[in-house]
Chains A and B, each alone.
Chain A
Amino acid sequence: MSNILLVGIDGSEPGERAAEFAANVAQAQGAKLLIAYVIEWSPYSFSTAEENEVRHKRREEEIETANSKLMEPLLNRLKSGNNDIEGLVLHGHPAKTLNYIAKDRGASQIFVGRTGGSGISRLLFGSVASNLVQTAKIPVTVIP
């Protein structure tokens, strides 16, 4: 069974550090690295009919922006040392989605930066890292 490591990034500096850290670990272990960026999105939010109509288009634009602004530069930077790296951009609840990817791809470990989510939502629901620590079924490494 091949070893797969998953790292969640959010565009923040700790997230970046987590990716670099995970890349080093992956290189040392000869593991595959999955980098996931989750666009925060709730299926239970309210929207107008006109927003719904163009939602599909918006979603693709959001994924496109995340790929070109965040994922690709990061992948290019990390790929110099590693061969087996894959980037994923998904919508959803960050912690739940990371758990889903981990299960779906059979990852053995999750890496995340300490900050994740911001402002009131973090105050209310805790950070992605603390959420993952409590819900993940595999080991979680939190990078400060």
Chain B
Amino acid sequence: MKTRLMKALIGIFCVTGIIALISLPVYAQTQERELSSMQEWVKGIEIPGLGYRSWVTGIQPPEAIVVEEKTGIDAAVDKIMSPINAVIYNAVFFSVPFFGSDLKLVVAWLVIGAVFCTFYFRLVNIRGFTQALRLVRGDYSKPDDQGEVSHFQALATALSGTVGVGNIGAVPVLIVLGGPGAVFWMIVAGLLGMSSKFCECTLGVKYRNENPDGSVSGGPMYSLKKGLAELGKPSLGKVLAIFFAITVVFGCLGAGNMFQANQAYVQFVNVTGGENSWLVGKGWLFGLVFAVLVGVVIIGGIKSIAKVTEKVVPFMAIIYVIGALIVLGMNFDRIPFAISSIFTNAFSPEGMAGGFIGVLILGFQRAAFSNEAGIGSAAIAHSAVRTKEPVTEGLVSLLEPFIDTVVICTITALVILTTVYGDPTVSHLTGVGLTSEAMMRSVAWFPTPLALAVVLFAFSTMISWSYYGLKGWTYCFGESKATDISFKVIFCIFVVIGCSIPLTSVLDFSDAMIFAMAIPNILGIYFLAPIVKKEMDSYFARVKSGEIVNYRKLNAGS
């Protein structure tokens, strides 16, 4: 216990140390900008008057619904958080001017990591794609091993954490800010992200812990600790692992919890009558109900609710895609325009701030925030799979950025481009509201299932992230019933907070934390990539030679 506490303290010390080091010179430069307003951080990108917008989902809660004046708790929390947040936010989201646009270094860090993985693993995102589909279909699952977590289940679980409100609500924001061309770069970044996802998930499975009771714990904190120890850098591994664990806890409580709860509340209010809804100003009540539901699932272990959401969410995603395709079908005459505008504007955007590079950065950012490739979160979910070949899990995971970004986000983009794009009458709308309007024009009742989808997406994302946060928490404080419960109780309390008060600075802080996860995670990828490559080459060779049996082919042959 004592050593755990020591570890945690050392970790916190290192985090603050690193952040202070990075931010001191930056802080001085950026103070002026930061003082003027927190909204200014995306100079040239932010729409005037939009106010707070989460970077993770890119959505901003409508002003009319969030509580206007700062209540006692809100003001108090903001007062404590603001100075801390200012330092950390500026450190993580430190931007450098780049050909007239602001390039956030953390986005560059993610993109460079993804490009590195794509080339280092010799286009595994393309080469491994069909093999990934075969794995998900179960072609390589030995019938005697049935009953373990399947590749399909691991993929579905990880997807329910990444496919969320952002896929519906943040893409319209992207188009409003960057034009159709930004969609092109989003897709490119999604394709590149497949490679970094492959690497991090392979590592997660390879270096997970198998607990004495038969359960497993995995994720970047374990791969950093064990993997770097193998390379003879145990202390560096430990520091990075603790850094990751701490950031995942904070990221989970904010973007994985409060923000999701808040979005669910906002959508609920919109459906029940907007500004006239009786729920307006009763966020705490909604939060309480939501917290009880979440608590019942994660603390009470009432699997039925979890089962229902986990079953409903993938269907909601499918229904959303089908609904969007119907809208596209009804506007098929505009599809050629939409597609050509995506391509032409990608290289020569008209009237966009920052020009070509600005649009490229926006698209890359959206993809990185949407599919979380390089962040390390999905590696935690994938580590639960019991497979002899870590590479198989990596291959399956590369489908996530594809489904999330290349399919779902692109479909949302096409819906916007074929319906409301360029229409001045909807300029007041953004986020989910714009998607909702776009769909309503084709089918009048679509907004209702859409709102339901948003609430369910938010709920499932929260459940997934509570698990990620818990793994970070237990890594710091040890695996026991007490640590387990204490985190879950804290998690539920934050649900209520998230619905009740617009904690701008807390959410900025948690966004920063989510992206801070990428720092140790991608460093780990650079160090451990040769190990993954060796495993990958050996796996593909054995598939080719037939040493790894394809059971579907085997059975079809008889």
B430 to chain A minimum Cβ distance, whole angstroms, is 32
CA distance A139 to B306 in the complex (A): 43
Q: Which of A91-138 contact B (CB under 8 A)?
A: 91-92, 97, 100, 103-104, 137
**Can you sample 27 A-B contacts with CB below 8 Å?**
A41-B146, A41-B147, A43-B153, A44-B150, A45-B153, A46-B307, A46-B311, A46-B313, A47-B157, A48-B303, A48-B306, A49-B380, A49-B384, A49-B463, A49-B468, A50-B306, A52-B381, A55-B147, A55-B386, A56-B215, A56-B386, A57-B213, A90-B147, A91-B146, A92-B147, A100-B555, A103-B555
Instruction: Tell me whether A62 and B147 are in contact (CB under 8 A).
Output: yes
Q: CB-CB contacts of B70-106 with A at 8 A, as 1s and 0s?
A: 0000000000000000000000000000000000000
In the assembled complex, B547 has its CB within 8 A of some CB on chain A? no
B449 at the interface (CB under 8 A from A): no
User: Which residues of chain B have C-beta atoms less than 8 A from A77's C-beta?
Assistant: none
CA distance A17 to B156 in the complex (A): 40
Which 7 pairs, one residue from A and one from B, show the smallest C-beta to C-beta distance?
A: A91-B147, A43-B150, A52-B384, A57-B214, A92-B146, A49-B467, A91-B146
Least CB distance from A45 to B in Å reads 7
Residue B154 interfacial (CB < 8 Å): yes
Interfacial residues, chain A to chain B (CB-CB below 8 A): 39, 41, 43-57, 59-60, 62-63, 90-92, 97, 100, 103-104, 137
Is B152 an interface residue, CB under 8 A from the partner?
yes
Contact A60 B153 (CB under 8 A): no
- Neighbour of A46 across the interface among B138, B143, B153, B215, CB < 8 A: B153
The distance from the CB of B530 to the nearest CB of chain A, in whole angstroms, is 29
Contact A52 B147 (CB under 8 A): no
In the assembly, what is the distance between CA of A100 and CA of B306, in Å? 32
Most chain A Cβ neighbours within 10 Å, of B297, B307, B468: B307
Asked if B384 and A55 make an inter-chain contact with CB atoms under 8 angstroms apart, the answer reads: yes
Q: How far is the CA of A47 from the CA of B205 in the complex (A)?
A: 18
| Contact indicator A43/B381 (Cβ below 8 Å) | no
Interface class of chain A by DSSP: helix
What is the distance, in angstroms, from B296's C-beta to the closest C-beta of chain A? Answer: 13
Q: Mark B129-156, 1 if CB is under 8 A from A, else 0.
A: 0000000001001011011111111101
Chain B residues near A103 (CB-CB < 8 A): 555, 558
Minimum distance in angstroms from A5 CB to a CB of chain B? 20
Contacts of B153 in A (CB 8 A): 43-47, 52
Closest A residue to B156 by CB, please name it: A46
Q: Name B's A-contacting residues (CB within 8 A).
A: 138, 141, 143-144, 146-154, 156-157, 160-161, 213-217, 297-298, 303, 306-307, 310-311, 313-314, 380-381, 384-386, 463-464, 467-468, 555, 558
Q: Are B154 and A90 in contact, CB atoms less than 8 angstroms apart?
A: no
Which of the residues A46, A53, A54, A92 comes within 8 Å of B310, measured between beta carbons? A46
Query: Contact at A43–B141, with CB atoms within 8 Å?
Result: yes
| The residue from B141, B143, B384 contacting A97, defined by CB atoms under 8 A apart | B143
Residue in chain B with minimal CB distance to A61? B214
Contacting pair A137 B558 (CB below 8 A):
yes
16 new A-B contacts, CB < 8 A, other than A46-B156, A52-B381, A100-B555, are: A43-B146, A43-B151, A44-B150, A46-B157, A47-B156, A48-B303, A48-B310, A48-B463, A50-B306, A52-B384, A53-B216, A55-B384, A60-B214, A90-B143, A92-B147, A97-B146
B-chain residues with CB within 8 Å of residue A45 when the two chains form the complex: 153, 311
Measured between alpha carbons, how far is A50 from B381 in the docked complex, in Å? 9
A113 shortest CB reach to chain B, Å: 22
Which of A48, A57, A103 has the most chain B CB atoms inside 10 A of its CB? A48
A45 to B155, CA, bound (A): 11
Contacts of A43 in B (CB 8 A): 138, 141, 146, 150-153
CA distance A45 to B315 in the complex (A): 12
CB distance from A138 to the nearest CB of B (A): 11
Residue of B152, B216, B558 touching A56 (CB-CB under 8 A) = B216
- When distances are taken between beta carbons in the complex, the residues of chain A under 8 Å from B380 are 49
Task: Name the residue on B nearest A55 (C-beta).
Answer: B149
Q: In the docked arrangement, what's the CA distance between A47 and B154, Å?
A: 8
Interface contact B157-A48, CB-CB below 8 Å: yes
Complex: how many Å from CA A134 to CA B544? 34
Q: Are A59 and B306 in touch, CB under 8 angstroms?
A: no
Q: Chain A contacts of B463 at CB under 8 A?
A: 48-49
